[in-house]
Chains A and B, each alone.
Chain A
Amino acid sequence: DAKTTQPTSMDCAEGRAANLPCNHSTISGNEYVYWYRQIHSQGPQYIIHGLKNNETNEMASLIITEDRKSSTLILPHATLRDTAVYYCIVAERSNDYKLSFGAGTTVTVRA
């Protein structure tokens, strides 16, 4: 019942921007897009979320296409500590505590 599709893995050079794509073609009008990451052996960490407008915070930017069928998480200046599994999730705000994480994208930042 996966609602999102992400590449299995990607590499990124340290100091460069990392662009993580996510497809969510069946997203409904009241569902938000959430991004979390999980560094090895740690609990998940919230990154950012959005409905239809682009969002930016101190960690990342989220670009959502106009039709909302896909989005891109941008880590502007990747560091080695950004190596993690990144999860793209869609959920209604009223149920966003019931997030279901898929396989995610394993991002490896290389020096």
Chain B
Amino acid sequence: NAGVMQNPRHLVRRRGQEARLRCSPMKGHSHVYWYRQLPEEGLKFMVYLQKENIIDESGMPKERFSAEFPKEGPSILRIQQVVRGDSAAYFCASSPRMGGPDTEAFFGQGTRLTVV
């Protein structure tokens, strides 16, 4: 019973490149949430997706960031033209239905993005 799988665990990109972060939810989970943790700060919500739908993207930066959760395959968080300020840990969580802890939302181990 694999948990939420995120890859890569560590990603290094040069300024201006694109970063693609992948999240495979737990089996049976159709709701995915992305969070970002900047250095020395707490996690902040970015976006909530169901299969093929963005439900809430109120925490997403207005430019360069996008997310998708296709019918098949993992959820992808894409950051275009990365800048140093994008360096952070990006966490994905999944749940079998909308909501937080008592709907059994579980977090992955995160992807640590470093922009050089």
In the bound assembly, the distance between CA atoms of A45 and B109 in angstroms comes to 10
Task: Give the number of residues in B that approach A within 8 Å (Cβ atoms).
Answer: 27
Is the C-beta of B65 less than 8 angstroms from some C-beta in chain A?
no
A93 cross-chain contacts in B, Cβ below 8 A:
99-100
Given A34-B100, A34-B101, decide whether A97 and B107 contact each other with a Cβ distance below 8 A: no
Is the C-beta of B102 less than 8 angstroms from some C-beta in chain A?
yes
Pick the contact of B91 from A34, A43, A49, A97 — CB < 8 Å? Answer: A43
How many residues of A sit at the interface, in one of the four size bands? 20 to 34
Is the C-beta of A100 less than 8 angstroms from some C-beta in chain B?
yes
In the bound assembly, the distance between CA atoms of A61 and B105 in angstroms comes to 20
| Proximity bits, A37-64, B CB within 8 Å = 1, else 0 | 0000111111001000000000000000
Residues of chain B at the chain A interface (Cβ within 8 Å): 4, 31, 33, 37, 41-45, 48, 56, 58-59, 91, 93, 95, 98-102, 105-110
Known: A97-B93, A97-B99, A99-B100. 15 other contacts (CB 8 A): A34-B101, A42-B110, A43-B91, A43-B108, A43-B109, A45-B107, A87-B42, A93-B100, A97-B45, A97-B48, A97-B56, A97-B100, A98-B45, A101-B42, A101-B43
